[in-house]
Structure 1
């Protein structure tokens, strides 16, 4: 299968993507549903999750063992073939996740539970511990497996892969993704 042609949005197209919605990449019975905080403007302009150059989701996903090679954001639909999907806590695009309100994150948490109950993934991986704490009122949550489930799915919190998250290198993110991958494999996927 030929890889899609990558067309980079212009700065004007990126700016015009404010508040645009990015559809979920989801299907019933996924192994893992990755849940970002919200789409960035670049992602909303392209229509691809984690599309901004410098976002470390795609390298971490591959190096963590979830995909056989590093996919380009334009190839995101191939994740479904690997039992993986992507959604967000908040649907609207913004330049930075800290532009979201607490109410948006809490509402997004409720909507995520509804999606999980509808689509029944085995695991949900929330990408960003601070957003997870706010959305689900889990003030002391840490990265890794959570003691509670989410809508019937096992729950894991990963670091935010945004290039703005300087606390984690690509190697650190890949290691965190690999921990989840090992747990998913151990439990049967």
Structure 2
């Protein structure tokens, strides 16, 4: 993995990382927003310690552990990645409630256009604010966007100590099983 200086990471602030998307995906995973490492590399969930890629594999979504730079391979499995808020920050707490709400509106339009079977938002707090659902919990949601069902997953950031990779993989696996039934 490329090592970046603090100045190089800071230079990535506010960059937008292109989505990994296609029409009619089985699951569109939606992060909160890109971190600086993701923005510097151009690869989603690129920060060492982020558990997205290992959990995706442990849950059975991918047959092997993919590296962030292999993110486009997700499309072959009917999977994609986007974010609630497009701009990169060092921490999610740098985002405003209005950015989350606007991100929710943009995400809704994107989902209506792409029509994935499931939208999987990784981060319950981001989902609560972006979609004005303050009581939302991890798991499937009542809300849909057109024909797209929504599942809220735990945030795979290494900072989310409430969830282990194993317990996250169980929750991701529940979504995988639901998506396989569709």
Q: Do they fold alike, i.e. is TM over 0.5?
A: yes
User: Hey, what's the Cα distance between the residues in 2 that align with 1:73 and 1:151?
Assistant: 30
CA shift for structure 1 position 148:
1.5
Correspondence for 1:26 among 21, 29, 36: 21
Give the aligned CA root-mean-square deviation in angstroms: 0.9
Q: How big is each residue's C-alpha offset from its partner over 1:56-96, in whole Å with a ceiling of 9 and x where there is no partner?
A: 00011000110000100000000011100000000000011
Q: Judge conservation of contact 1:31–1:184 (CA < 8 Å) in 2.
A: yes
1:117 equivalent in alignment to 2:96: no
Q: Secondary structure in 2 aligned to 1:149?
A: strand
Per the alignment, residue 169 of structure 1 pairs with: 164
Q: How many residues align?
A: 182
1:80 equivalent in alignment to 2:75: yes
1:16 equivalent in alignment to 2:11: yes
Per the alignment, residue 57 of structure 2 pairs with: 62
TM-score by length of 1: 0.94
Q: Judge conservation of contact 1:39–1:93 (CA < 8 Å) in 2.
A: yes
CA shift for structure 1 position 26:
0.5
Gaps of 5+ in 2: none
Q: Judge conservation of contact 1:113–1:151 (CA < 8 Å) in 2.
A: no
Q: Judge conservation of contact 1:9–1:46 (CA < 8 Å) in 2.
A: no
CA shift for structure 1 position 42:
0.5
Per the alignment, residue 129 of structure 1 pairs with: 124
Per the alignment, residue 102 of structure 1 pairs with: 97
TM-score by length of 2: 0.97
